[in-house]
């Protein structure tokens, strides 16, 4: 009788097994959730920083600050496209031509910040340099255009 009651209780919709054992979820999946949510927040923060920059620059800098805090807390890497949008010395959001510049010099990407007057040099990797070299073929020091396909 008691057993039968227990079975009926388990089957009932009032006893949700997933919520009952929710605390037993693995740490790994929790960590993955945290990282996924953090990435989403980085996306929104950098999108908002770009939108708000021309209205209020200090708010854009603040969004970079928040994004960095989230990124460090979740222990994820800052995505490459975002890493080049702010100054790594003073963490201000950079817009090339307004408060910073991004140039390629001696096969390095040079990001300069006008507010703290510092540079960041990112060397182009061999793979990316090869990709650039493929576009302009250099033979014996002379530039040779790629043969045209007929």
Chain residues in the site for Zn ion (CB under 5 A): 87, 89-90, 113, 116
How many CB atoms sit inside 10 A of residue 138's CB?
9
CB of 101 to Zn ion, least distance (A): 12
Taking the least distance from each CB to Zn ion, the nearer of 38 and 93 is 93
Taking the least distance from each CB to Zn ion, the nearer of 69 and 118 is 118
Take residue 33 and report the two structure tokens written for it.
Answer: 């959730």
CB of 36 to Zn ion, least distance (A): 30
For 7, 136, 138, the CA distances from 141, given in Å and listed in that order, are: 83, 12, 6
CB of 116 to Zn ion, least distance (A): 3
Q: What are phi and psi of 73, to 5 degrees?
A: -65, -40
Q: Is the dihedral of CA 54, 59, 63, 65 positive or negative?
A: positive
Evaluate whether 82 touches 42 at the Cβ level (below 8 Å): yes
CB of 88 to Zn ion, least distance (A): 8
Taking the least distance from each CB to Zn ion, the nearer of 64 and 87 is 87
Taking the least distance from each CB to Zn ion, the nearer of 72 and 116 is 116
């Amino acid at each position: 009788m008691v057993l039968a009651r227990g079975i009926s209780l388990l089957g009932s919709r009032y006893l949700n097994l997933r919520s009952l054992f929710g605390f037993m979820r693995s740490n790994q999946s929790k960590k993955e959730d945290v990282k996924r949510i953090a990435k989403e927040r980085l996306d929104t923060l950098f999108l908002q920083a770009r939108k708000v920059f021309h209205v209020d620059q200090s708010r854009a800098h603040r969004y970079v600050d928040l994004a960095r805090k989230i990124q460090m807390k979740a222990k994820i890497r800052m995505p490459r496209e975002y890493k080049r949008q702010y100054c790594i010395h003073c963490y201000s959001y950079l817009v090339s031509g307004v408060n910073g510049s991004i140039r390629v010099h001696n096969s390095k990407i040079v990001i300069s910040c006008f507010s703290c007057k510092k540079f960041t040099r990112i060397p182009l990797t061999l793979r990316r340099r090869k990709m650039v070299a493929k576009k302009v073929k250099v033979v014996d020091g002379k530039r040779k255009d790629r043969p045209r396909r007929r």
